Amino acid sequence: PDVIIEAQFDDNDAERGQDHLQDMLADDIKKLSLDTAEKGKAAGVTGVQRTKQDDGPKVNDPRLLPDEFLQRTAKVVYILEKKHSRAATGFIKLLADRNSELFKRCAMFSPVDHRVPRVYVPLADCPPDFVTKPEAYSQMLFICRIVDWKEDSNFASGQLCKSLGQAGEIEPESEGILMEYGVDFSDFSPEVLECLPQNLPWVISPGELAKRRDLR
């Protein structure tokens, strides 16, 4: 495969202009062609060839190139653990193309966190009057959970979980953060509350104070 050589330069090089960059790149190509040609001859193969379309050198075997000219590549082979909760806070809006079939079925969810993709959500999950009065919900925070993301789609698919309230208010914003990070903030169950002292007011006994370190 053809190898693209990318010149590395700092701000000082950039200030000296494009001519300096071209000269430096030409020197690198010259040096590379000499090095690869010598290695190719030593191995009994030709490492550099010229074509009619391109007068520059082409290296057939990337193994003949120095490490600084190689771009490391890799691919994900397995997901060990899903760290994100797949829930996000954001806003809903109508799709831009009103004539499409998707406009009749879905709305667009835009997360506040830009690391999360935009999501198609069913109109059935949205408020009943959202299509007729979308401006009334422009500042309303919603929680959406991603359920799928097809390889041939730019946007994920998800479901609206609930409406949190107006953006900028403390309670909706706090609830959204807790749900995004999967924090259980529901009320304690009766079984948990029964473990607490029932005779109030409750005080720490002197015996407990004597054997404990006071961190108050």
Domain boundaries, the chain: 87-181
- What does 124-187 look like in DSSP terms, one character per residue? GGS-TTTTT-GGGGTTEEEEEEEEE--TT-SSEEEEEEEEEEETT-HHHHHHHHHHHTT---SP
Structure tokens at 202: 């409750």
- CATH number among 2.40.50.700, 3.40.50.620, 3.10.129.10, 3.40.50.300, domain 87-181: 2.40.50.700
Indicate if the pLDDT at residue 207 is higher than 90: yes
Indicate if the pLDDT at residue 176 is higher than 70: yes
What 3-state DSSP class applies to 41?
helix
Burial class, 6, CB count within 10 angstroms (exposed 0-12 / middle 13-18 / buried 19+)? exposed
What is the pTM (predicted TM-score) of this model? 0.54
Residue 61 has what pLDDT?
79
Residues contacting residue 194 through CB under 8 Å, at least 6 positions apart: none
Amino acid in position 125: D
What does the alpha-carbon distance between residue 17 and residue 22 come to, in Å, rounded to a whole number? 9
For 68, 91, 176, the CA distances from 110, given in Å and listed in that order, are 41, 5, 14
Give the pLDDT band (50/70/90) at residue 120.
very high
Indicate if the pLDDT at residue 35 is higher than 80: no
